[in-house]
A and B are shown apart, each in its own frame.
Chain A
Amino acid sequence: MINQTEIQKIAKLAKLAILPEEVAYYTEELTRVLIFMQQLQTVDTEKVEPMAYAFDSMQHWREDIITETDALKAYQALAAQIENDLYIVPAVI
C-alpha cells in the first residue's frame, strides 16, 4: 500500500529524519492505518460540501487598535540563538 520510498518522501515533507532501522517500522504502521482508512471510499459524498470546522460563521470583528504589548525580549529569551533581534539559523546550503 505504501512502500519504503514513499515513506522516505513523506518523512522529507514532514521534516522528520527517519533512521534506517525505522523505515520498515513506519512502512508497516502506515500501511496498516491506510488500509483501515480505505473505508472512507465506501461512503457516497457526491455533492456534499467539505466541513473544515464546526459552525461556519464565527468571524468576529474588532477595533483596529493595538492591544498587545511588545514582548519580543520575553519571546526571544526562549530561542537557541539570537543576534540583533534576529533568530540565527544554520546555513540553508
Chain B
Amino acid sequence: MLHEKSVNELSQLLQKKQLSSQELTTHFLNRIAQYDKVLNSFITVTAESALQEAVKADACIAKNEATLLTGIPVAHKDLFCTKDVKTTCASKMLANFIAPYDATVVARCRQVGLVSLGKTNMDEFAMGASNETSFFGAVKNPWDIKAVPGGSSGGSAAALAARLTPLATGSDTGGSIRQPAAFCGLTGLKPTYGLVSRYGMIAFASSLDQGGPMARSAEDIALFLQAFAGLDERDATTSDRVVPHYFSTLNDSLQGIKIGLPAEYFGEGLHPAIAAHIETAIQQYEKMGAIIKKVHLSHTKIAIPTYYVIAPAEASSNLARFDGIRYGYHCDNPKDLNDLYSRTRQEGFGREVKRRIMIGTYVLSAGYYDAYYLKAQKIRRLIANEFDTLLKEVDVIAAPTTPTLAFNLNEKAQNPLSLYLADIYTCVANLAGIPAVSLPIGFHEQRPIGMQFIGPAFSEAKLLNLAHQYQRESDWHIRSPQLIES
C-alpha cells in the first residue's frame, strides 16, 4: 500500500513516473477523509491547494527538474505560518488568523516540491504534553483511541501514525516532538538550537523552541531535515555551520561508539516495561559494536522546575503580543484599552495558556525575578555544562523518552503538575540547546515505547545514524495501527 512505503520508496516511484504526485496526494487526502473524524489530527485540510501543488510537482518531475522530495505530501504543525492558510496555534485567539507569509520551514518545504496536505492539531500555543488543550478538541492516539497521542505536536504524530501523511513538521520546546513520537511509535528529532529557522514559527519560549521533522523512520527524517535545516538571514539565532548530508552517513558503522547510560534516568518513576525495552535495545547496540558506559547526570531532578520557570517566563513575554489590536481575536465592546487587552486575553486563551502566563509573569516580577528566573538561568548553565562535559567522555547519551506509556485521555487533565513531570527526560536537551532523537523500540499492552539518544551540538547526523542502524534490524517503526473509519 502506498501509505506503508518509505519516503525514499515513494520518491523512486515518482522519479520513475510509475506514480504521480496527484495519485499519491489523492491517496492521502482520501485517508484523511476516511479516518480523521475519529482522530482529529488535522485542524485545516488544504485539499484543493494540495492537488494544485501536486500538479506542479508532476510537471517538475516530467521536466527532470525535481528534487528527491518533489511530489511527496507533508503536513505542518499549526504553529508554522502558511501563506493564505489559517494558522491557529490551536487557539481561539488565532482561530481565524490567515497568515500573510510562509514560515521559513514551510517556504523551504515548498521550494523542494513537498505538497502540503494541511495543518495539524496541537496543544494550544504548544503548551502541553497530551494534545488535550486544543481549542479544536483533543487528538486521539491511533494505537488506542482512549489514549493521548502526546503533545504538543500530537496532531502531527497521530497523522503520521495513522499513515495520513508520510512526513510532518513539529516543534519541540520541552519535548513536544519526541514525546508524541514515543507515544505514537514514530521517529522524531529535536534539532540543535539554531539548526532550524524559527522565522514564522509562532513563538512559545524563544530560547528553547526548535522546529523539527517527524516521520516513520530515521531515513525519512534524514531526507526531510535536509530540506529545511540551515542558516536563515531572517532568524538571527540560526547557525551558519554547513549542513551535512544526513542521508549519506545513515549506514556508517557504530563500531566503537560510546553510549552513556545515566543512572539517574533508570530509577523510580520509570515504567518497568520501558526500562526493560531500553535494556534490550542497548544489547542490540552492543552487538553492533557500541561501548556502553554508566554515567551520572546529577542535575536530573532539578531540570523540571528549571524548565517550568524559564519556559513560562518566556511565554508570558511572547504572548504579550496577543492584544486584540493587530491580529487575532478581540473582545466585543471594550470600554477602554485596558479592558480590550484583559478581556481579549481572558476570552481568547485557554486555561493552560493562562496558567503559564501567570506563572511566567510572577517569576519575572519585581521581588521574585532573582529568586526564580535568574536562579533558573544559572541552573540552566549548570545543566548545559554537565551535558557538555559528559558528551566529551561519551559520544551520545541513551535515555527513555517518557517515564510512562501513553496515558488515557482526561487522566492527567485535572493535575497539570503531573503532566509537567512527564518532561523529565526531554526538557534537558532544550535547556542545553542540544539535539535528541526519539525512536520506537517496542510495545507494551499495545502502546508504543520510545527511547532517545541525546548528542552534542550539531550531531544530528550521528543521532540519525544510530536510529537508522537499529531500524535496519527491527520493525517497530513500520508497524501500523488498526484504524477506525469515520
- Are both chains from one complex? yes
Q: Quick check: B378 and A45 within 8 Å, CB to CB?
A: yes
Instruction: Give 19 CB contacts A-B under 8 Å.
Output: A10-B361, A16-B345, A17-B345, A19-B346, A34-B362, A37-B372, A39-B301, A40-B376, A49-B378, A50-B377, A54-B192, A54-B432, A54-B457, A58-B237, A58-B238, A60-B233, A62-B233, A80-B330, A89-B340
Interface centre among A36, A51, A52 (most CB of B within 10 A): A51
State in angstroms the CA–CA spacing of A54 and B378 once bound together. 13
Segment from B3-11, B143-151, B162-170, B316-324 that makes contact with A: B316-324
CB distance from A15 to the nearest CB of B (A): 4
Q: Are B341 and A15 touching (Cβ within 8 A)? A: yes
B-chain residues with CB within 8 Å of residue A41 when the two chains form the complex: 371, 375
- B236/A78 in contact, CB under 8 A: no
Q: Could you mark each residue 57-93 of chain A with 1 if its beta carbon is under 8 Å from any beta carbon of chain B, else 0?
A: 0111010000100010011011110000001011111
**Residues of B that sit less than 8 Å from A by CB:** 97-98, 100-101, 192-194, 206-207, 231, 233, 236-240, 299, 301-302, 305-306, 308-309, 316, 320, 323-328, 330, 334-343, 345-346, 349, 354-355, 357-359, 361-363, 365, 371-372, 374-382, 384, 416-417, 420, 432-434, 457
- Min CB distance A10 to B, Å, is 5
Are B345 and A13 within 8 A (Cβ)?
Answer: no
Q: Which B residues are CB-close (under 8 A) to A32?
A: 417
Give the contacting residue for A90; candidates B207, B320, B339, B345; CB below 8 A: B339
Q: Is the CB of A45 within 8 A of B416?
A: no
Check if B384 sits within 8 Å of A51, measured CB to CB: yes
User: Are B362 and A55 touching (Cβ within 8 A)?
Assistant: no
Q: In the complex, which range does the number of interface residues on chain A fall in? A: 35 or more
Whether B338 pairs with A15 at a CB distance below 8 angstroms is yes
A24 close to B (CB within 8 Å):
no
List residues of chain B with CB within 8 A of the CB of A60. 231, 233, 236, 240
B-facing residues in A24-47 (Cβ within 8 Å)? 26, 29-30, 32-34, 36-37, 39-43, 45
Given contacts A17-B346, A50-B381, contact A40 B337 (CB under 8 A): no
Cβ-defined partner of B336 (8 Å) among A49, A80, A92: A92
Give chain A residues whose Cβ lies under 8 Å from the Cβ of B343: 17
Q: How many A-B residue pairs have CB under 8 A?
A: 171
Residue of B nearest to A48 (CB): B378
- Chain A residues in the interface with B (C-beta under 8 A): 2, 6-7, 10-11, 13-19, 26, 29-30, 32-34, 36-37, 39-43, 45, 48-55, 58-60, 62, 67, 71, 74-75, 77-80, 87, 89-93
Q: Are B237 and A11 in contact (CB under 8 A)?
A: no
CB within 8 Å for A53 and B305 given contacts A78-B327, A87-B325, A90-B336: no
Instruction: Determine whether the beta carbon of A15 is less than 8 Å from that of B457.
Output: no
Return chain B residues, CB-CB under 8 Å to A67.
233
B358 touches A26 (CB 8 A): yes
Interface centre among B299, B320, B372, by most chain A C-beta atoms within 10 angstroms, is: B372
**Given A17-B346, A80-B325, A92-B337, do A40 and B380 touch, yes or no (CB 8 Å)?**
no
- Which residues of the other chain, A, contact B305 by a CB distance below 8 angstroms? 36-37, 39-40
Minimum C-beta distance from B345 to chain A (A): 5
In the complex, the answer to whether A40 meets B306 with C-beta atoms within 8 Å is yes
* C-alpha spacing A18/B357, complex, angstroms: 12
Contacts of B97 in A (CB 8 A): 78
Cα(A87)–Cα(B374), bound, Å? 36
CA gap between A36 and B423 in the complex, in Å:
15
Given contacts A40-B305, A60-B236, A78-B327, 4 further A-B contacts (CB under 8 A): A16-B349, A40-B302, A62-B233, A87-B326
Leading 8 A-B pairs by shortest Cβ distance: A54-B433, A50-B377, A53-B207, A45-B378, A17-B342, A17-B346, A51-B381, A78-B327
Q: Are A54 and B193 in contact (CB under 8 A)?
A: yes
CB pair A51–B380 under 8 Å, yes or no, is yes
Which of B309, B336, B358, B384 is the one whose CB lies under 8 Å from A14? B358
Instruction: Tell me whether A30 and B433 are in contact (CB under 8 A).
Output: no
The CA of A30 and the CA of B342, in the complex, are separated in Å by 19
Query: Which residues on A sit within 8 Å (CB–CB) of B434?
Result: 54
Q: B349 — nearest CB in chain A belongs to which residue?
A: A16
CB-nearest residue of chain B to A16: B345
Task: Say whether, besides A17-B345, A43-B382, A53-B237, A2 and B362 are in contact (CB < 8 Å).
Answer: yes
Residue among B98, B233, B375 with max Cβ neighbours from chain A (10 Å) = B375
CB distance from B64 to the nearest CB of A (A): 32
With A15-B342, A91-B336 known as contacts, the answer to whether A40 contacts B240 (CB < 8 A) is no
- Check B382 against A48 for contact (C-beta < 8 Å): yes
Closest chain A residue, CB of each to CB of B304: A36
A91 to B339, alpha carbons, bound, how many Å? Answer: 10
